[in-house]
Amino acid sequence: MHFLYPAFLFALISLVIPVLIHLFNFRRYQKVYFSNVQFLKEIREQQSSRRNLKERLILAARLLALAFLILAFARPYIPGPHAANAGIQQAISVFVDNSYSMQTLNREGSLLDEAKRRAKEIASAYNINDHFQLLTQDFEGKQQRLLSRDEFNDAVDAVKISPQSRSLQQIITRQQNLLNMQPGTNKSIYVISDFQKNLTAHQPVKTDSAMHINLVQLKASVLANVAVDSVWLLNAIHRPGESEQMVVRLQNYAGEKSTKIPLKLLINGSQKALGGFTVNARSSQNDTLTFSGLQAGWQRGEITLQDNPVIFDNQFYFTFNVKQQMLVLLIDGGTPNLFLKSLFGADPFFDVKHAPDGNIDYTSLNNYPLIVISDVKSITTGLAQQLKNYVDKGGTLSVFPPVDADLASYQSFLSAINAAYPVKLITGDTKVSSLNLQNPVFKNIFEGFPQHPDLPVVKKYYQLSTTGTRSENLMQLTGGENFWASYKSGKGKVYISAVPLNDDFSNLPRHALFVPAMFRIALLSGHDQPLFYTLGCDETMEIPAVQTSDKQLLKLVKGSQSIIPDVKQQEGSTLLYVSDQLHETGIYNLKKQDSTVAVMAFNDNRSESDLSYFTAAELAKIVPKAGNILEGGKGSLKDAVSDTNFGMQLWKLCIILALIFLAAEILLIKYLKLDQSTVLQSV
């Protein structure tokens, strides 16, 4: 047995006091002489040995009552497995899970309220001079310091729901890093959470063996939940007034089938689609919504579900831009290609810019969704590098070689972007033998395809390389060679033609397929910003280049909220870093002074929507060095924490025993009559 405050044992000297009182409280018998004993009816005879026994019993009860009272102040305990250094200062890190899943209700209210209560119970089990860290999902800078118990309790009261969702390894590593900076202290870690299965990838967590880790699992009710997992638009380019198709992926996180889930689509506050959907248990389902009537400008979209009682993931936000015109850059050798000029000039939606290969504004390349190169004899090293950067960032490049191409420069340029390049000129009449109707360029554009179609005729062409590249054919020659093919490169795409836009090579520029094919390439191009970002995951956002200064800062604005992101300029684009500044979902305007540069949507991390939890046995495998896995809802944690860190506490038992012996003393004094006997004597 050990004592938490052994200095109180000096008070045992006070046990001498009742002993001295006992020794000096002598009762001497005296003889009393009566002149007349006629009135003496009865004499009580007393034996000294019996009286001494009563006094010794009373003395023993007093001594034991006082001794156990002193022991109670000394806090005796039987050491537990982690109590070897009990008595020195403690440093305790407590993590309170405040992710969205902690809004779930149980019999005692929300899980977050219970987590706060448990955190205070843990703190109350330690001494007033011990220090505490409060850590939440936010990982804020102010949480990287130790607090007194009162400060800790105040900080716990201020914890609110956060959109962040950290892994268990990140949480424990953060706690260990702070405690490692506290030498000469006993270190303990507590993690209070519902322990969703998304908290870790079922891999064992790396922990410091010098720290005692306790997991406090809160029990939540099992609830059904359906959420919008993601959305995407089938239209690559959005034109005013045209019909749009949006695919919505619904995810059922429950073990039961969900039927007739109401879903509503709003664009700029106006309802565009409405429906009810059924999703099987533990599965996802894609549904397509069709809407139209959009005006030019930024579109603010919201999808709303009615899925009670879990409501934190019932909204999903997205934005996209409907452009009044689409920019197209035509690069040529100095003379504009008449076929391309006529092609894009026929539709006012296309805003065409011409540039000779020797006079290109490289800084503006990323503003063009589509760049078409034709009749450029040689690709310079500078132009090749700029076009490679353009394609890597998501741009679409279409290349038509010239009549007198410098094959070496084209090989160097196209091989660097993982595309085929012209090897040699082949002469001889041939024709296109087939179209790839599954390629996005031709898919779904023909109502009915004839059995013997009229396809382009070829007089001569450049043979395209085949090694080291993976292509998607648009058109194929009779011999099986590529005539027009597409290649993925970085985030963008490259289209290579085996012929120039020249009548001496083929009738492709005059063929009926040329116009729809080029329009489809244009409409499938573009590198618009994502429809949405995820809070806690997407901390970096890339937008087209925006020039800023100390007086012209970019701001993310939503209502009364205004956030200034960190800005980094790179070639052709601007990077925004929001870190952990954003805490609320919704649609934000990115503004430069009074002008709106972009509109961005932010949603919660949908990993919180999966309300399935680890069992205690699974947690024991994930954190094998955890000392205890405590379950919420089973009384106060104070006693469990005390037993774990200080061993079996005996001070309550000492108080009880002190009261028992004090009561025994009272009973001995009042009721013990074993020292008396009665003798009758006649007068």
Q: What is the CATH number of the domain that holds 251?
A: 2.60.40.10
Distances 151 to 96, 140, 180 between C-alpha atoms, Å: 15, 16, 21
**Among 227, 232, 228, 135, which Cα is nearest to 189's?**
135
Cα–Cα distance for residue pair 93/586, rounded to 1 Å: 33
Cα–Cα distance for residue pair 213/201, rounded to 1 Å: 19
582: confidence class by pLDDT, cuts 50, 70, 90: confident
Q: Is residue 83 assigned to a domain?
A: no
**Start-to-end Cα distance in the chain:** 65
Say how many C-beta atoms besides its own lie within 10 A of residue 247's C-beta: 13
493 and 420 in a common domain: yes
539 and 462 in a common domain: no
Which of 323, 358, 376 terminates a domain? The answer is: 323
**Among 461, 460, 375, 373, which Cα is nearest to 417's?**
373
Q: Is residue 514 assigned to a domain?
A: yes
563: containing domain: 533-603
Cα–Cα distance for residue pair 146/129, rounded to 1 Å: 12
CATH number at residue 511: 3.40.50.880
Which of 568, 583, 603 terminates a domain? The answer is: 603
DSSP three-state, residue 520: helix
DSSP 516: H
Cα–Cα distance for residue pair 555/176, rounded to 1 Å: 36
Q: What is the pLDDT of residue 90?
A: 87
Triad 401, 404, 405: Cα angle to 5°: 45
Cα–Cα distance for residue pair 452/551, rounded to 1 Å: 65
Q: Is residue 272 assigned to a domain?
A: yes
Q: Is residue 85 assigned to a domain?
A: no
Q: Is the separation of the CB atoms in 323 and 296 below 8 Å?
A: yes
DSSP three-state, residue 56: helix
Which of 264, 298, 323 terminates a domain? The answer is: 323
Average pLDDT over residues 318-331: 92
Average pLDDT over residues 549-553: 83
Report the run of H or E that residue 489 belongs to, with start and end. Answer: strand 482-489
DSSP three-state, residue 419: coil
246-250 contacts, C-beta under 8 A, 24 or more apart: 246/288, 246/289, 246/290, 246/291, 247/286, 247/287, 247/288, 247/289, 248/286, 248/287, 248/288, 248/289, 248/303, 249/284, 249/285, 249/286, 250/226, 250/277, 250/279, 250/284, 250/285, 250/286, 250/287
> Under 8 Å CB-to-CB from 459, ≥6 apart: which residues?
427, 428, 429, 504, 505, 506
**Among 469, 378, 372, which Cα is nearest to 415's?**
469
Q: Taken in order 409, 410, 414, 419, is the CA torsion positive or negative?
A: negative
281 and 141 in a common domain: no
Q: What is the pLDDT of residue 572?
A: 66
Q: Is residue 84 assigned to a domain?
A: no
> Under 8 Å CB-to-CB from 135, ≥6 apart: which residues?
93, 94, 95, 96, 143, 171, 174, 175
Q: Is the separation of the CB atoms in 369 and 396 below 8 Å?
A: yes
The total number of structural domains that make up the chain: 5
Cα–Cα distance for residue pair 478/675, rounded to 1 Å: 129
Q: Is the separation of the CB atoms in 444 and 427 below 8 Å?
A: no
pLDDT(335) > 70: yes
Instruction: Identify each DSSP E strand in 197-344 by its residue range.
Output: 212-217, 226-233, 244-252, 258-267, 270-279, 284-291, 297-305, 315-322, 326-332
Distances 104 to 69, 360, 596 between C-alpha atoms, Å: 46, 58, 38
476: confidence class by pLDDT, cuts 50, 70, 90: very high
Phi, psi values for residue 321, rounded to 5°? -115, 125
pLDDT(681) > 50: no
pLDDT(84) > 50: no
pLDDT(40) > 60: no
Q: Is residue 592 assigned to a domain?
A: yes
632: confidence class by pLDDT, cuts 50, 70, 90: low
Q: What is the pLDDT of residue 619?
A: 87
487 and 360 in a common domain: yes
DSSP 75: -
348 and 302 in a common domain: no
Q: One-letter amino acid identity for 52?
A: N
Distances 592 to 324, 379, 551, 589 between C-alpha atoms, Å: 21, 37, 10, 10
Cα–Cα distance for residue pair 448/451, rounded to 1 Å: 9
Q: Is residue 68 assigned to a domain?
A: yes
Q: What is the pLDDT of residue 76?
A: 81
pLDDT(170) > 70: yes
Q: Is the separation of the CB atoms in 157 and 119 below 8 Å?
A: no
CATH number at residue 584: 2.60.40
Predicted confidence (pLDDT) per residue in 339-359, tens digit: 999 999 888 889 999 999 989
DSSP β-ladder status, 212-217 and 109-110: unpaired
Q: What is the pLDDT of residue 683?
A: 44
501 and 372 in a common domain: yes
Average pLDDT over residues 544-557: 85
486 and 428 in a common domain: yes
DSSP three-state, residue 205: coil
Cα–Cα distance for residue pair 615/613, rounded to 1 Å: 7
Q: What is the pLDDT of residue 678?
A: 46
- Report the 3 state secondary structure along 87-132: CECEEEEEEECCCHHHHCEECCEEHHHHHHHHHHHHHHCCCCCCEE
Q: What is the pLDDT of residue 28?
A: 54
Residues 85-122: b if buried by 16+ CB within 10 A, e if exposed? ebeeebbbbbbbbbbbbbbbebeeebbbebbbbbbbbb
159 and 94 in a common domain: yes
Q: Is residue 608 assigned to a domain?
A: no
478 and 340 in a common domain: yes
pLDDT(129) > 90: no
Q: Is the separation of the CB atoms in 525 and 396 below 8 Å?
A: yes
231 and 208 in a common domain: no
241 and 213 in a common domain: no
646: confidence class by pLDDT, cuts 50, 70, 90: low
Q: What is the pLDDT of residue 5?
A: 77
**Among 120, 129, 211, 140, which Cα is nearest to 173's?**
211
Give the CA diameter of the chain.
164
**Mean pLDDT of the residues in the chain:** 85
582 and 504 in a common domain: no
Q: Is the separation of the CB atoms in 210 and 175 below 8 Å?
A: no
Cα–Cα distance for residue pair 84/81, rounded to 1 Å: 7
The answer to which of 186-195, 221-230, 323-332 has the lowest mean pLDDT is: 221-230
Q: Is the separation of the CB atoms in 303 and 262 below 8 Å?
A: no
Q: Edge-to-edge strand order for the sheet containing 297-305? A: 270-279, 258-267, 297-305, 315-322
Q: One-letter amino acid identity for 390?
A: Y
Cα–Cα distance for residue pair 319/533, rounded to 1 Å: 10
